[in-house]
Amino acid sequence: MPFIYNRSVYFRDTDAAGVVYFAQVLVICHEAYEASLAAFGINLRTFFQNSELAIPITHASVDFLRPIYCGDRLLVYLTPQLASETEFQVKYALFVDQQDKPVSQALTRHVCIHPTQRKRQPLSEEMQQWCQKCQG
Amino acid sequence: MPFIYNRSVYFRDTDAAGVVYFAQVLVICHEAYEASLAAFGINLRTFFQNSELAIPITHASVDFLRPIYCGDRLLVYLTPQLASETEFQVKYALFVDQQDKPVSQALTRHVCIHPTQRKRQPLSEEMQQWCQKCQG
Amino acid sequence: MPFIYNRSVYFRDTDAAGVVYFAQVLVICHEAYEASLAAFGINLRTFFQNSELAIPITHASVDFLRPIYCGDRLLVYLTPQLASETEFQVKYALFVDQQDKPVSQALTRHVCIHPTQRKRQPLSEEMQQWCQKCQG
Amino acid sequence: MPFIYNRSVYFRDTDAAGVVYFAQVLVICHEAYEASLAAFGINLRTFFQNSELAIPITHASVDFLRPIYCGDRLLVYLTPQLASETEFQVKYALFVDQQDKPVSQALTRHVCIHPTQRKRQPLSEEMQQWCQKCQG
């Protein structure tokens, strides 16, 4: 079962064209990723400032299928997938509440490295479990 | 009774100093304002793109009392106050869950105008009621 | 000759991991796109609020090759490419001043539509010329 | 002589009301502050991640006098003022190119502390000189 993140669309998400600014969709996807980690029991403050291990995003892509408006209720379906012992990807499908078709779809790729040496290293046991649990 | 808005602190809210970026506190306050309007039954999409009536912010101020970290659970207490038939202000007190003292306090002033002529006009009945209800 | 956009990296671009937040790279790419349109003589205010014609982004992707830090001087090389009479894409290569290898690469796809009916329509003569000029 | 920062208004600065989002004005002011520090020879990356000394903002206020639109050319006049050996404030006046009256005015207060103990400590010689130079 994918993780589902609920999120209202706020004024700050929009631009002068009256809809959500394109890059803001990836911000919302990352919020969903954080919500999913927190729900799994991971401390976000130490996760993002770990001096031994970092999991930066190496690639992101996003398709914009329908405009999203201020006040819309978004549901973000998040599905991670282990690619190797050092790498995973996360897929996101964004729906506006009570609509059948997604408004957007996105993907992020994450690689585990040492934050200063920037060499690959294995994902923690915990992150592998998070991937497996959300994957169902 | 003031309106209370719950909000996690996300990675995007932070900066390279490891805490929430100063101006982002006002973004979070505005989200609380929007959540309060939506809870009162106001349609945010038409509210912010009304061609007959706009309520821009004319002033904002904010005090930063304690650092706020990624993953913190914020509670924003919002209290509006009618200043005249064309103007109101909103006070915000931000707390991190389970802490006694606020981490931040803020204020926004809003004036009702015609969006193109930019002349003052009276607040709608609905907005006056929203002010009175949240003020308790 | 591609268009080159110069941009310092500001504190707001960064996150608690001490580097530029991933989605912010796309924000910087869009700034380069806007700078390129403005340099060609296009009025950005009317461009983004045109009630007859809109050119929303339908797809974006971005690769993160090296971390980018606060204070870095970025050079964004922008190259548009006409895909059809209703569609173009823009490629971005981001360099930190005085470094050989790109820190990031990105792509955006843009489709010309009617903003309310959301049906495809041909790009303006002006936009086709902008594509051709920047393509060299 | 105050420091002057030039900045175009980008699409991301705006919201669905078609003008610059209120809190974004403070983001632009902070960019002006950073540009002024960099012009004085301060390394921004080490400045904002110094483990011995931090200068967080303790207060900010901003007045919105006129709407600011996408594509506008902003000039930000920045004037710092030493308040004590541990504290300074910065005033900002924002003008749209070729207009007489400011579109916005803002103020930030900064206090020098130890980043972990969070106790006040004197500003560096360098920061005091920056204050004095920009104050003229």
Q: Tell me, what's the pLDDT at D136? A: 59
Q: Tell me the H-state helices in chain A.
A: 22-39, 44-48, 125-135
Residue B105 predicted with pLDDT over 80: yes
**pLDDT confidence band for B111 (50 / 70 / 90):** very high
Cβ contact D61:B26 at 8 Å: no
What ipTM does the predicted assembly reach? 0.96
Asked if A16 and D12 come within 8 Å (Cβ–Cβ), the reply is no
Q: Tell me, what's the pLDDT at B133? A: 87
For C82, the 3-state DSSP assignment is strand
Cβ-based burial of B25 (10 A; exposed 0-12, middle 13-18, buried ≥19): buried
Q: Tell me, what's the pLDDT at B136? A: 59
Asked if D62 and B61 come within 8 Å (Cβ–Cβ), the reply is yes
If you write DSSP's letter for every residue of chain B in order, what string do you get? --EEEEEEPPGGGB-TTSSB-HHHHHHHHHHHHHHHHHHTT--HHHHHT-SS-B--EEEEEEEE-S---TT-EEEEEEEEEEEETTEEEEEEEEEETT-SS-SEEEEEEEE-B-TTT--B-PPPHHHHHHHHHHH-
Distance (Å, whole) CA C55 – CA A62: 17
Residues 6+ apart with CB under 8 A from D84: none
For the structural domain made of D3-135, what CATH number should be given? 3.10.129.10
Cβ contact B3:B134 at 8 Å: yes
Q: Tell me, what's the pLDDT at C67? A: 96
What is this structure's pTM?
0.97
**pLDDT confidence band for C1 (50 / 70 / 90):** confident
Other CB atoms within a 10 A radius of the CB of residue C41 amount to 9
Residue A117 predicted with pLDDT over 80: yes
Other CB atoms within a 10 A radius of the CB of residue B6 amount to 11
Of C76, C103, C68, give the one whose Cα is nearest residue C92: C76
Q: Tell me, what's the pLDDT at A136? A: 59
Low-confidence ranges of chain D (pLDDT < 50): none
Average pLDDT over residues B44-51: 92
Residues D57-75 pLDDT 10s: 999 999 999 999 999 999 9
Q: Tell me, what's the pLDDT at C73? A: 97
Q: Tell me, what's the pLDDT at B54? A: 95
Which of C12, C19, C22 to probe by mutation at the B interface, max B CB count within 10 Å?
C12
* Sole residue written with tokens 């929007």: B34
Q: What are phi and psi of B86, to 5 degrees?
A: -115, 0
Name which of A12-16, A69-73, C22-26, C50-54 the model is least confident about. C50-54
Where in chain D are the domains?
Answer: 3-135
From chain C, the residues in CB contact with B9 under 8 A are none
**pLDDT confidence band for A47 (50 / 70 / 90):** very high
Q: Tell me, what's the pLDDT at A30? A: 98
Residue A29 predicted with pLDDT over 70: yes
Give residue D78's Cα distance to chain centre: 7
Average pLDDT over residues B91-120: 95
Mean pLDDT for chain C overall: 95
Residues of A at the C interface (Cβ-Cβ below 8 Å)?
15-17, 19, 22-24, 26-27, 30, 45, 48-49, 54, 56-64, 67, 108, 115, 118
